[in-house]
Chain A
Amino acid sequence: MSRGVQLALSCALLCAGLALPAQAGDPTVLPPGTVFGEERVRQPREILHDEADGGRQSDLVALGNMAFASPLIFGDPARKAGLTCETCHNQGDVNQVFFIPGLSDRPGGLAVINALFNTATTNGLHRHIDIPSLRGIRYLAPYGRDGRIAALRDFTRNVVVNEFAGPEPSPKLVDAITAYMEQIDFLPNPKLASDGQLTDAADPAARRGEVLFNRNFPQMGNQSCAGCHHPSALFVDHLQHDIGTGGAFKTQTLLNADFTAPYFHDGRYTTFGQVVDYFDGTYKLGLTVADKSDLVAYLQAVGDGEQPFENNTPDRELDELLVFSRPLERAIAERDMPVVDLAVGTIAHEMRELQERFPGPSDPLGAGEQALLKPARSAAAGLVIQLRRVQSAAQAGRYEEAMAALKTFRNRADAARPVFLAALPVSLYDPTLAAQHQALVAELTPSATQPAPLATAGSHANP
């Protein structure tokens, strides 16, 4: 394939909201063909409850948010691979392109118990699990696709220690990560009233589907779909059911599900239509073509959400890193060196990734635009180094110096903001340039056979 064709294809994929399948993470740790999709500019929109209410992330939430984005809480090889909670739960949602050859049967999940990430817990079984969204997770107990763990906090520790071989996290850190996840709200959906009934904003097909959804079917033990997916209870019943997919699994919410395909615990279905067909076939419901279409319309209306995606910008990233700097400040004050090291390592790495979105003069895409790009690169590098000064001073027990260095970091971050924004149009924050860059990188990155990108994401265009 010529590069021209490849670039055109890349742009087409990106415009469809899909990332290019290019090598991700650390390819010396992960198999060739691994896809994290971190280079994507478009990402799920995250709403944190207290911020949406006009408050801010507490220091505890900010600590959890930071740890969520850090590979340093995991053990090897996840840590070395650069894998984080955020990798799979992108902006607290899902990652539809995530794929690790050998571990993933399809994009968007993996056999999370495996010999690669933790030999102590591997059991010789390969069970692909679809990555769940964490939107509204505080309402969605129990946890795990099979609902085996009652409390989110316990589940979180299990992910860190048993799934990704991390060292035992401090109680405070587990509290923090849990507190952060409990902040993640559903996207608002004007098609739903607070009792889960459709509003006038929903179309007639969806309203017909709503009636079907609430109809009791003798073939399902005189139950309705709503019998498990309670509309007035965020479409869950907090129970596990065996619907013939290989065991009992907990009822998933349908809220914001337009953006979380594929579906079922193992992600076997990519569309709502396939899901409806499964129930119709399994329980011999005798749905007509029109019935099925109405049910799909209903699921789409329930699964909708306002402004599901947004573009990543240096502004947004800088804001987040400044939020992360608050638990760092607290850790310096409390002489909490493990958190200082965690925070500096995480913020510095994120800042470096920000820097890499401003191509240097030897990058084919950056060659002509250095007047804007170079200052941005320099500012970002300076911020990284300033953070390491904070760490060095704290490690040497010079806490006042560390605090002063952190203050300098913040001042420089404020000064860097307009520099980053000026370079944005010629940076890899531009979706088209990002796609072109990924295509170039892919040519120089040995990789195995790439997985087919997900065909559809439960979108309205592709029911």
Chain B
Amino acid sequence: MNTAEGKKYWNPIIETLPREKLQEVELKRFRELLRWAKDQSPFYKRKLHGIEPEDIRTMEDVAKVPMTEKDELRTAQEGKEPYLYGDLLAVSPERLSTFHQTSGTTGKPVYFPDTYESWQWCVEVWCYILHAAGFRPQDRVFIPFAYNVYIAFWQGHYAAEKLGCEVVPGGALDTQGRIQKIGEVKATALMNTPTYGLHMAEVAKEMGIDPTRDLNIKRMISAGEPMPEPTRLRLEELWGADVYDHIGGTEPGGWAGMCSEKRGMHVIEPHYLFEMVDLETMSKPIPPGTKGVAVITPLCRRCIPLIRFNLKDMMMVMDEPCPCGRTSIRVDQIGGRVDDLRKIRGVFFTPAVVEEVIRGKFPEVVEFETHLTQEEVMPVLSLKVELDSSIGESQSREIKNRIREGLKIRTNLTFEIELVKPGSLPRYMLKSTRFKDFTKKS
């Protein structure tokens, strides 16, 4: 392979493999993983009882294997030995070398360890993601976070190192300090949450720094939360950089990333087996171009095997081949999480739509928060909106009306809009919680 083509992909052997071959490798790995899980993990020994790995020959066969739900992982760990990981662990505890956990947004956290080998695999899959996003050895990458027990930025840090980038960890600084450091070291790339990327740009502006003019950031990769397209475009505008998204989580690791085409995200095949099931039955496979729920199997992470993990994220598989030449499945993250889906006055509503409207049409909005409450029997949607401090009163009123109209057109629902003082809404660094459902019984 010539050098230029070699540099286009992290692994041209795999990334341009014909689809039939990719699927063949994935099915083989799926069988191996089933065998491993049945033999080594008490949880899967029970769950996969009666399933013979050798019988799994097609994607239809794969669909017969039971899905793994997050609640099952919690139950399998709680109060069981070995401490923390319980029945999920498929290696001896002495082999563990890395600890991560889920954020606990939807319940008790799930603990996810790795052996040295499985951690290196997690790092490897992120190399595909960073390379597709244009990260190269000449980059100096700034990561403005204390990574804590969450996986994404650890994966990103080690993968950037492996790619040959120089990594600057910016965890112990405040936002102003981080912006100064980015300028001081002339960082060329950022790993960020979309929310914090917006906030950093806001703080930079207050400091008299225009990131597009005064900083040297050429590319940014997003982690930690979904990034609707309008938010991605807003970040590109604010930073003057190419902004890329990726999809990942503690349980599966980072499993899809955006290429230079910036249209959808490539599943890191054949390291992952990706499936889509329909929203109604949560089991029936659906064709490309249809909205459904994503199901993922990390095929080579043997420490805690994860078979057909129900991500509960709504997505769509893109049908047409990608001009970048990668042959892997491309997915588009649309509609947010199944857990956030609500039926309000007969209309399906997902909070992700609010972000699409706000970030897409209202650059004057600095921060916002959606509330769902109940008045007698009627659900009420309200939106707290924080505008840029430079906006005058009459313009604010006009924007408020336009937001109400924009949301009505997009969602078919009427929102109560409340303008709040600049700086009064919370700013998030990692996972943002801009949707608050007060109708939920605690």
A-B complex is real: no
Q: Which residues of A contact B (CB under 8 A)?
A: none
